[in-house]
Amino acid sequence: MAPIGAHMERQALQQLLEDVRRGDTTVEEAVRWLRLLPFEDLGFAKVDHHRALRKGFPEVIYCQGKAPEHVAKIVRAIRARAKVVLATRATPDLYAFVRQEVPDAVYYEQARIIQVGTPEPDPASRGTVLVISAGTADIPVAEEAVVTIEAAGCSAERLYDVGVAGIHRLFAHQEKLEHARVLIVVAGMEGALASVVGGLVDKPVIAVPTSVGYGASFDGLAALLGMLNSCASGVVVVNIDNGFGAGYFAAMLTKG
């Protein structure tokens, strides 16, 4: 069986059963393919191959704290069953190690993401996710969201460095705000940009607080609390620096 993409999991399973019915695939071959559901035990990790069927996207690897050899083995295991693999919070050194084991791996340095495989546009996705950053220091978290969105087969557009310290920069792009189906707002310091954007649009706004800021920002806690207390309706908040979570949720909304 060829590797399968997230939105093709169900079709691939149906195709497998059809192949068995026609005699193109033996029962033994089908059993070998299906035995990895719902997970594959690598000893140090249990890889959830069933996740794409449940969630619409394969398991994503969070690299921080993991041994390089473990990350490489998990990447290989997921790649054997999925067309696209994502590994977040990856360092350049980790990428160099993984690439030795998985030569077609690519690295998005700003997003700190290792990706294996080329995503295909998801026919269920409609519209564009506009990813907005308050400042250039927030771009790494914003890029994590962008790479995640595109890996899910959805469309993303960037609008960076338009924070409230120079709010006219945001207003100059009002048309982009209006045309987006979902908006992600990434901001540190006091996190005010999410409330501003939320007050301008009638679309879902996903606010991402970042750990950017001076001492009283408490590594993003001030921005998190500010976003949670937003007076603008239609704003939801993910965890500090969680660009991946925001991108994943935004991709789900484009398919709703």
What are the extents of the domains in the chain? 6-116, 128-254
pLDDT score for 16: 81
The Cα-based distances of 100 to 14, 73, 97, 106 in angstroms read 35, 12, 5, 11
The Cα-based distances of 220 to 191, 201, 206, 211, 231 in angstroms read 9, 25, 16, 4, 19
183: left (phi over 0), alpha (psi -120 to 50) or beta: beta
Q: What is the topology classification, in CATH, of domain 128-254? A: Rossmann fold (3.40.50)
Return the structure tokens found at 79: 């790649």
pTM, 2 dp: 0.84
C-alpha span between 68 and 59 (Å, rounded): 17
pLDDT score for 88: 97
C-alpha span between 133 and 58 (Å, rounded): 27
pLDDT score for 97: 96
* Of 229, 170, 177, 224, residue with least CA distance to 203: 177
In degrees, to the nearest 5, what angle opens at C-alpha 80 toward C-alphas 74 and 82?
A: 95
pLDDT tens-digit map of 192-210: 999 999 999 999 999 999 9
Q: Which residue has the higher pLDDT, 174 or 8?
A: 174
CA dihedral 110, 112, 113, 118 (to 10 degrees): 20
For residue 223, give the 3-state DSSP assignment: helix
> Phi and psi of 160, rounded to 5°?
-110, 155
Q: Hey, what long-range contacts does 73-77 have (CB within 8 A, 24 or more apart)?
A: 73/42, 73/44, 73/45, 73/101, 74/42, 74/45, 74/47, 75/101, 75/102, 75/105, 75/114, 75/116, 76/101, 76/102, 77/40, 77/42, 77/47
Whether the per-residue pLDDT at 6 is higher than 70: the answer is no
C-alpha span between 252 and 3 (Å, rounded): 22
pLDDT tens-digit map of 101-138: 999 999 999 999 999 999 888 888 899 999 999 999 99
DSSP state of 19: H
Number of neighbouring beta carbons within 10 Å of residue 238: 21
C-alpha span between 113 and 176 (Å, rounded): 26
pLDDT score for 35: 64
pLDDT tens-digit map of 49-97: 888 777 778 889 999 999 999 999 999 999 988 889 999 999 999 999 9
Whether the per-residue pLDDT at 36 is higher than 70: the answer is no
Distinct helix (H) and strand (E) counts, the chain: 11, 11
